[in-house]
């Protein structure tokens, strides 16, 4: 059985109708990845953390540019 990623976040997105139902787990997946990444860079501003995360994603060979850009 797969563990639900960030269940409270997913429920928030669902309750506020912020994201189409079929994309909720996708948003939770990328939110979890960003949170894990940002823990390493706690002393930086949020804007800089986001920029560094996007740069990191661009460097990954298994992540398409489109997917990296859609995560934010």
Contacts of 6 (CB under 8 A, 6+ apart): 28, 31, 32
Residue-level pLDDT at 2: 73
Does 55 map to a domain?
A: yes
Does 1 map to a domain?
A: no
Residues in the chain, pLDDT under 70: 1, 61-72
Residue-range definition of the domain harbouring residue 13:
7-70
Does 30 map to a domain?
A: yes
* Closest by Cα among 39, 42, 38, 43 to 54: 38
Does 56 map to a domain?
A: yes
Number of domains in the chain: 1
Residue-level pLDDT at 3: 82
The pTM assigned to this predicted structure is 0.74
Does 2 map to a domain?
A: no
Residue-level pLDDT at 18: 97
Does 25 map to a domain?
A: yes
Residue-level pLDDT at 1: 63
Residue-level pLDDT at 59: 86
Does 13 map to a domain?
A: yes
């Amino acid at each position: 059985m797969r563990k639900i990623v960030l269940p409270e976040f997913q429920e928030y997105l669902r309750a506020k109708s912020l994201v189409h139902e079929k994309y909720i787990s996708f948003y939770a997946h990328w939110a979890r990845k960003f949170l894990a990444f940002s823990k390493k860079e706690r002393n930086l501003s949020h804007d800089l953390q986001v920029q560094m995360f996007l740069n990191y994603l661009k460097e990954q060979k298994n992540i398409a540019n489109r997917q990296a850009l859609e995560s934010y």
